[in-house]
Structure 1
Protein backbone atom coordinates (compact mmCIF):
# COMPACT_ATOMS: atom_id res chain seq x y z
CA UNK A 1 0.00 0.00 0.00
CA UNK A 2 1.62 3.24 -1.13
CA UNK A 3 1.11 6.79 0.18
CA UNK A 4 -1.34 7.95 -2.54
CA UNK A 5 -3.57 4.91 -1.90
CA UNK A 6 -3.44 5.51 1.86
CA UNK A 7 -4.57 9.10 1.28
CA UNK A 8 -7.44 7.78 -0.85
CA UNK A 9 -8.51 5.45 1.98
CA UNK A 10 -8.32 8.41 4.38
CA UNK A 11 -10.68 10.28 2.05
CA UNK A 12 -13.06 7.32 2.16
CA UNK A 13 -13.19 7.59 5.96
CA UNK A 14 -14.32 11.23 5.67
CA UNK A 15 -17.62 10.18 4.02
CA UNK A 16 -19.18 8.68 7.19
CA UNK A 17 -17.94 11.68 9.19
CA UNK A 18 -19.66 14.01 6.72
CA UNK A 19 -22.91 12.04 7.07
CA UNK A 20 -22.72 12.08 10.86
CA UNK A 21 -22.13 15.82 11.02
CA UNK A 22 -25.05 16.58 8.71
CA UNK A 23 -27.52 14.16 10.26
CA UNK A 24 -26.75 14.49 13.96
CA UNK A 25 -26.12 18.22 14.18
CA UNK A 26 -28.95 20.33 12.76
CA UNK A 27 -27.54 23.86 12.53
CA UNK A 28 -25.77 26.16 10.10
CA UNK A 29 -22.59 25.37 12.03
CA UNK A 30 -22.97 21.73 10.99
CA UNK A 31 -23.25 22.79 7.35
CA UNK A 32 -20.00 24.74 7.63
CA UNK A 33 -18.27 21.77 9.28
CA UNK A 34 -19.62 19.45 6.59
CA UNK A 35 -18.36 21.84 3.92
CA UNK A 36 -14.92 21.86 5.55
CA UNK A 37 -14.83 18.05 5.67
CA UNK A 38 -15.98 17.85 2.06
CA UNK A 39 -13.39 20.38 0.85
CA UNK A 40 -10.65 18.56 2.79
CA UNK A 41 -11.66 15.37 1.02
CA UNK A 42 -11.62 17.17 -2.34
CA UNK A 43 -8.13 18.47 -1.57
CA UNK A 44 -6.91 14.96 -0.76
CA UNK A 45 -8.34 13.84 -4.12
CA UNK A 46 -6.00 16.28 -5.83
CA UNK A 47 -3.13 15.40 -3.46
CA UNK A 48 -3.23 11.64 -3.98
CA UNK A 49 -3.22 12.07 -7.75
CA UNK A 50 -0.37 14.56 -7.60
CA UNK A 51 1.71 12.30 -5.36
CA UNK A 52 1.00 9.21 -7.45
CA UNK A 53 2.34 10.96 -10.54
CA UNK A 54 5.20 12.75 -8.77
CA UNK A 55 6.42 9.64 -6.91
CA UNK A 56 5.73 7.37 -9.90
CA UNK A 57 3.34 5.32 -7.75
CA UNK A 58 0.39 5.02 -10.12
CA UNK A 59 -1.20 1.62 -9.52
CA UNK A 60 -4.17 -0.28 -10.89
CA UNK A 61 -5.59 -0.24 -7.35
CA UNK A 62 -5.32 3.55 -7.29
CA UNK A 63 -6.96 3.84 -10.71
CA UNK A 64 -9.93 1.88 -9.39
CA UNK A 65 -10.03 3.10 -5.79
CA UNK A 66 -9.64 6.85 -6.42
CA UNK A 67 -12.72 7.34 -8.62
CA UNK A 68 -14.72 4.91 -6.48
CA UNK A 69 -13.99 6.93 -3.33
CA UNK A 70 -14.87 10.14 -5.22
CA UNK A 71 -18.25 8.64 -6.05
CA UNK A 72 -18.84 7.49 -2.47
CA UNK A 73 -18.05 10.95 -1.08
CA UNK A 74 -20.20 12.81 -3.63
CA UNK A 75 -23.12 10.41 -3.22
CA UNK A 76 -22.88 10.41 0.59
CA UNK A 77 -23.23 14.20 0.61
CA UNK A 78 -26.02 14.18 -1.98
CA UNK A 79 -28.02 11.50 -0.16
CA UNK A 80 -27.98 13.55 3.04
CA UNK A 81 -28.96 16.62 1.00
CA UNK A 82 -31.95 14.61 -0.33
CA UNK A 83 -32.87 13.72 3.26
CA UNK A 84 -32.64 17.40 4.22
CA UNK A 85 -34.85 18.36 1.25
CA UNK A 86 -32.15 20.38 -0.52
CA UNK A 87 -31.98 18.36 -3.74
CA UNK A 88 -34.55 16.15 -5.46
CA UNK A 89 -34.04 12.39 -5.29
CA UNK A 90 -34.37 12.01 -9.08
CA UNK A 91 -31.25 14.12 -9.62
CA UNK A 92 -29.19 11.91 -7.32
CA UNK A 93 -30.65 8.86 -9.07
CA UNK A 94 -29.29 10.12 -12.41
CA UNK A 95 -25.83 10.55 -10.91
CA UNK A 96 -25.99 7.18 -9.14
CA UNK A 97 -27.17 5.43 -12.30
CA UNK A 98 -24.30 6.86 -14.36
CA UNK A 99 -21.71 6.04 -11.71
CA UNK A 100 -22.93 2.46 -11.23
CA UNK A 101 -23.13 1.87 -14.97
CA UNK A 102 -19.62 3.16 -15.67
CA UNK A 103 -18.16 1.35 -12.64
CA UNK A 104 -19.70 -1.94 -13.77
CA UNK A 105 -18.49 -1.23 -17.30
CA UNK A 106 -14.92 -0.71 -16.03
CA UNK A 107 -14.95 -4.02 -14.15
CA UNK A 108 -15.37 -5.85 -17.47
CA UNK A 109 -12.50 -4.03 -19.21
CA UNK A 110 -9.26 -5.93 -19.80
CA UNK A 111 -7.10 -2.90 -19.00
CA UNK A 112 -7.68 -0.42 -16.17
CA UNK A 113 -8.06 3.11 -17.54
CA UNK A 114 -7.76 6.35 -15.67
CA UNK A 115 -10.40 9.04 -16.03
CA UNK A 116 -10.48 11.07 -19.26
CA UNK A 117 -10.86 14.85 -19.33
CA UNK A 118 -14.67 14.59 -19.33
CA UNK A 119 -14.61 12.39 -16.24
CA UNK A 120 -12.34 14.88 -14.51
CA UNK A 121 -14.60 17.80 -15.49
CA UNK A 122 -17.58 15.84 -14.19
CA UNK A 123 -15.85 15.31 -10.85
CA UNK A 124 -14.86 18.98 -10.55
CA UNK A 125 -18.42 20.03 -11.45
CA UNK A 126 -19.89 17.68 -8.87
CA UNK A 127 -17.44 18.83 -6.18
CA UNK A 128 -18.26 22.49 -6.86
CA UNK A 129 -22.01 21.84 -6.87
CA UNK A 130 -21.97 19.76 -3.69
CA UNK A 131 -19.74 22.29 -1.91
CA UNK A 132 -22.17 25.08 -2.76
CA UNK A 133 -25.16 22.95 -1.76
CA UNK A 134 -23.55 22.20 1.61
CA UNK A 135 -22.75 25.83 2.37
CA UNK A 136 -25.51 27.61 4.33
CA UNK A 137 -25.66 30.56 1.95
CA UNK A 138 -28.32 33.26 1.69
CA UNK A 139 -31.40 32.46 -0.43
CA UNK A 140 -30.14 34.82 -3.15
CA UNK A 141 -27.69 32.02 -4.04
CA UNK A 142 -30.37 29.34 -4.53
CA UNK A 143 -30.88 29.79 -8.29
CA UNK A 144 -27.16 30.05 -9.20
CA UNK A 145 -26.39 27.00 -7.06
CA UNK A 146 -29.17 24.98 -8.69
CA UNK A 147 -27.87 26.02 -12.12
CA UNK A 148 -24.38 24.83 -11.18
CA UNK A 149 -25.88 21.58 -9.85
CA UNK A 150 -27.81 21.17 -13.12
CA UNK A 151 -24.55 21.70 -15.02
CA UNK A 152 -22.90 19.02 -12.90
CA UNK A 153 -25.74 16.62 -13.73
CA UNK A 154 -25.36 17.43 -17.43
CA UNK A 155 -21.58 16.80 -17.23
CA UNK A 156 -22.32 13.53 -15.46
CA UNK A 157 -24.52 12.31 -18.32
CA UNK A 158 -22.27 13.67 -21.09
CA UNK A 159 -19.09 12.19 -19.60
CA UNK A 160 -20.81 8.81 -19.26
CA UNK A 161 -21.91 8.83 -22.88
CA UNK A 162 -18.43 9.87 -24.04
CA UNK A 163 -16.82 7.13 -21.94
CA UNK A 164 -19.06 4.50 -23.53
CA UNK A 165 -18.46 5.88 -27.03
CA UNK A 166 -14.68 5.83 -26.53
CA UNK A 167 -14.80 2.33 -25.03
CA UNK A 168 -16.75 1.00 -27.99
CA UNK A 169 -14.68 2.96 -30.53
CA UNK A 170 -17.85 3.66 -32.47
CA UNK A 171 -16.97 4.52 -36.07
CA UNK A 172 -18.44 7.60 -37.72
CA UNK A 173 -21.68 7.12 -39.63
CA UNK A 174 -20.20 8.53 -42.83
CA UNK A 175 -16.81 7.04 -43.72
CA UNK A 176 -14.11 9.63 -44.27
CA UNK A 177 -12.38 7.46 -46.91
CA UNK A 178 -14.70 8.47 -49.74
CA UNK A 179 -12.79 9.20 -52.92
CA UNK A 180 -13.52 12.51 -54.56
CA UNK A 181 -12.13 11.41 -57.95
Structure 2
Protein backbone atom coordinates (compact mmCIF):
# COMPACT_ATOMS: atom_id res chain seq x y z
CA UNK A 1 0.00 0.00 0.00
CA UNK A 2 1.44 3.36 -1.01
CA UNK A 3 1.76 6.49 1.14
CA UNK A 4 -1.24 8.41 -0.28
CA UNK A 5 -3.50 5.41 0.44
CA UNK A 6 -2.12 5.14 3.99
CA UNK A 7 -2.87 8.84 4.50
CA UNK A 8 -6.43 8.27 3.27
CA UNK A 9 -6.89 5.42 5.75
CA UNK A 10 -5.50 7.65 8.49
CA UNK A 11 -8.19 10.22 7.61
CA UNK A 12 -10.89 7.59 8.06
CA UNK A 13 -9.42 6.58 11.43
CA UNK A 14 -9.54 10.24 12.54
CA UNK A 15 -13.33 10.39 12.09
CA UNK A 16 -14.25 8.55 15.33
CA UNK A 17 -11.71 10.68 17.21
CA UNK A 18 -13.36 13.80 15.78
CA UNK A 19 -16.82 12.53 16.76
CA UNK A 20 -15.81 11.69 20.32
CA UNK A 21 -14.29 15.14 20.78
CA UNK A 22 -17.25 16.86 19.13
CA UNK A 23 -20.02 15.00 20.94
CA UNK A 24 -18.57 14.52 24.43
CA UNK A 25 -19.47 17.58 26.49
CA UNK A 26 -17.27 16.50 29.42
CA UNK A 27 -14.01 16.86 27.50
CA UNK A 28 -12.40 20.22 28.32
CA UNK A 29 -11.94 22.22 25.12
CA UNK A 30 -13.30 19.23 23.20
CA UNK A 31 -14.73 21.42 20.46
CA UNK A 32 -11.33 22.98 19.81
CA UNK A 33 -9.59 19.60 19.76
CA UNK A 34 -12.33 18.39 17.41
CA UNK A 35 -11.62 21.41 15.21
CA UNK A 36 -7.90 20.58 15.17
CA UNK A 37 -8.61 16.95 14.25
CA UNK A 38 -11.03 18.05 11.53
CA UNK A 39 -8.50 20.49 10.05
CA UNK A 40 -5.77 17.83 10.12
CA UNK A 41 -8.12 15.37 8.41
CA UNK A 42 -9.00 17.98 5.76
CA UNK A 43 -5.33 18.71 5.22
CA UNK A 44 -4.59 15.02 4.66
CA UNK A 45 -7.13 15.09 1.83
CA UNK A 46 -5.04 17.61 -0.06
CA UNK A 47 -1.74 15.95 0.86
CA UNK A 48 -2.68 12.45 -0.31
CA UNK A 49 -4.04 13.77 -3.61
CA UNK A 50 -0.96 15.90 -4.21
CA UNK A 51 1.42 13.01 -3.47
CA UNK A 52 -0.56 10.57 -5.61
CA UNK A 53 -0.50 12.90 -8.62
CA UNK A 54 3.07 14.17 -8.18
CA UNK A 55 4.66 10.75 -7.79
CA UNK A 56 2.25 8.89 -10.08
CA UNK A 57 0.85 6.86 -7.18
CA UNK A 58 -2.78 7.08 -8.29
CA UNK A 59 -4.52 3.75 -7.64
CA UNK A 60 -8.05 2.44 -8.07
CA UNK A 61 -8.18 2.09 -4.28
CA UNK A 62 -7.27 5.76 -3.89
CA UNK A 63 -9.76 6.89 -6.54
CA UNK A 64 -12.49 5.06 -4.65
CA UNK A 65 -11.43 5.49 -1.02
CA UNK A 66 -10.26 9.12 -1.06
CA UNK A 67 -13.68 10.58 -1.98
CA UNK A 68 -15.37 8.11 0.38
CA UNK A 69 -13.15 9.27 3.26
CA UNK A 70 -14.12 12.87 2.48
CA UNK A 71 -17.81 11.96 2.43
CA UNK A 72 -17.54 10.18 5.77
CA UNK A 73 -15.68 13.07 7.39
CA UNK A 74 -18.02 15.79 6.15
CA UNK A 75 -21.17 13.73 6.74
CA UNK A 76 -20.09 13.04 10.32
CA UNK A 77 -19.65 16.75 10.96
CA UNK A 78 -22.97 17.60 9.29
CA UNK A 79 -24.84 15.10 11.44
CA UNK A 80 -23.27 16.71 14.52
CA UNK A 81 -24.53 20.10 13.29
CA UNK A 82 -28.06 18.74 12.99
CA UNK A 83 -27.84 17.50 16.58
CA UNK A 84 -26.63 20.94 17.66
CA UNK A 85 -29.38 22.53 15.52
CA UNK A 86 -26.93 24.75 13.65
CA UNK A 87 -27.63 23.40 10.15
CA UNK A 88 -31.13 22.53 8.88
CA UNK A 89 -31.70 18.77 8.66
CA UNK A 90 -33.09 19.02 5.10
CA UNK A 91 -29.81 20.56 3.88
CA UNK A 92 -27.85 17.73 5.48
CA UNK A 93 -30.23 15.16 3.96
CA UNK A 94 -29.71 16.61 0.46
CA UNK A 95 -25.92 16.68 0.89
CA UNK A 96 -25.74 13.12 2.22
CA UNK A 97 -28.22 11.87 -0.40
CA UNK A 98 -25.90 13.24 -3.10
CA UNK A 99 -23.07 11.26 -1.58
CA UNK A 100 -25.10 8.03 -1.59
CA UNK A 101 -26.10 8.60 -5.21
CA UNK A 102 -22.50 9.16 -6.30
CA UNK A 103 -21.28 6.18 -4.29
CA UNK A 104 -23.97 4.05 -5.93
CA UNK A 105 -22.81 5.19 -9.35
CA UNK A 106 -19.24 4.32 -8.46
CA UNK A 107 -20.29 0.84 -7.34
CA UNK A 108 -22.19 0.19 -10.57
CA UNK A 109 -19.23 1.46 -12.56
CA UNK A 110 -16.85 -0.66 -10.51
CA UNK A 111 -18.92 -3.78 -11.20
CA UNK A 112 -18.36 -3.03 -14.88
CA UNK A 113 -14.61 -2.55 -14.49
CA UNK A 114 -14.78 1.25 -14.52
CA UNK A 115 -13.35 3.62 -11.93
CA UNK A 116 -14.75 7.13 -11.86
CA UNK A 117 -12.54 9.73 -10.21
CA UNK A 118 -13.85 12.90 -8.59
CA UNK A 119 -14.62 15.84 -10.88
CA UNK A 120 -13.54 19.43 -10.36
CA UNK A 121 -17.09 20.32 -9.30
CA UNK A 122 -16.85 17.57 -6.69
CA UNK A 123 -13.51 18.89 -5.48
CA UNK A 124 -14.88 22.45 -5.19
CA UNK A 125 -17.91 21.05 -3.36
CA UNK A 126 -15.69 19.17 -0.92
CA UNK A 127 -13.54 22.25 -0.24
CA UNK A 128 -16.63 24.41 0.36
CA UNK A 129 -18.12 21.78 2.66
CA UNK A 130 -14.90 21.48 4.64
CA UNK A 131 -14.61 25.24 5.10
CA UNK A 132 -18.28 25.38 6.08
CA UNK A 133 -17.71 22.65 8.67
CA UNK A 134 -14.70 24.45 10.11
CA UNK A 135 -16.76 27.62 10.50
CA UNK A 136 -19.62 25.75 12.20
CA UNK A 137 -17.25 23.90 14.53
CA UNK A 138 -15.75 27.25 15.53
CA UNK A 139 -19.31 28.39 16.24
CA UNK A 140 -18.25 31.96 16.92
CA UNK A 141 -20.94 34.46 17.80
CA UNK A 142 -19.19 37.23 15.90
CA UNK A 143 -21.40 38.68 13.15
CA UNK A 144 -18.71 38.15 10.50
CA UNK A 145 -18.50 34.43 11.32
CA UNK A 146 -22.28 34.12 11.22
CA UNK A 147 -22.29 35.66 7.74
CA UNK A 148 -19.42 33.42 6.59
CA UNK A 149 -21.22 30.35 7.99
CA UNK A 150 -24.30 31.18 5.95
CA UNK A 151 -22.32 32.00 2.80
CA UNK A 152 -20.43 28.71 2.96
CA UNK A 153 -23.54 26.75 3.94
CA UNK A 154 -25.36 27.87 0.80
CA UNK A 155 -22.23 27.73 -1.36
CA UNK A 156 -21.63 24.13 -0.24
CA UNK A 157 -25.29 23.29 -0.82
CA UNK A 158 -25.26 24.84 -4.30
CA UNK A 159 -22.02 23.11 -5.27
CA UNK A 160 -23.45 19.85 -3.96
CA UNK A 161 -26.42 20.11 -6.31
CA UNK A 162 -24.31 21.34 -9.26
CA UNK A 163 -21.74 18.58 -8.81
CA UNK A 164 -24.51 15.97 -8.61
CA UNK A 165 -26.09 17.17 -11.84
CA UNK A 166 -22.69 17.33 -13.53
CA UNK A 167 -21.82 13.84 -12.33
CA UNK A 168 -25.16 12.40 -13.48
CA UNK A 169 -24.84 13.99 -16.90
CA UNK A 170 -21.21 12.97 -17.49
CA UNK A 171 -21.88 9.41 -16.34
CA UNK A 172 -25.37 8.89 -17.75
CA UNK A 173 -24.13 5.91 -19.74
CA UNK A 174 -23.83 3.99 -16.46
CA UNK A 175 -27.57 4.39 -15.95
CA UNK A 176 -28.29 3.36 -19.50
CA UNK A 177 -26.21 0.21 -19.87
CA UNK A 178 -23.49 0.20 -17.22
CA UNK A 179 -20.62 0.61 -19.68
CA UNK A 180 -18.84 3.44 -21.44
| 1:81 pairs with 2:107 | no
Equivalent-residue separation in structure 2 for 1:70 and 1:78 (angstroms) = 12
**Which residue, 127, 133, 144 being the options, matches 1:130?**
133
Counterpart residue number, 1:41: 41
Q: TM-score, with normalisation over the residues of structure 2?
A: 0.88
Equivalences for residues 1-181 of structure 1 within 5 A? 1-25=1-25, 29-109=29-109, 110=112, 111-140=114-143, 141-168=145-172
List structure 1 segments (4+ residues) > 4 angstroms apart after TM superposition.
none
Conserved? CA contact 1:28–1:136, under 8 Å? no
Counterparts in 2 of 1:119 and 1:164: CA distance versus 1, 3 Å: same
Unaligned runs of 5+ in 1: 170-181
- TM-score, scaled to structure 1: 0.88
Where in structure 2 are there 5+ consecutive unaligned residues?
174-180
RMSD over aligned Cα atoms: 1.6
Residue in structure 1 matched with residue 177 of structure 2 by the alignment: none
**Count of residue pairs the alignment pairs up:** 169
How far has the Cα of 1:34 moved from its partner? 1.4
* Higher radius of gyration, 1 or 2: 1
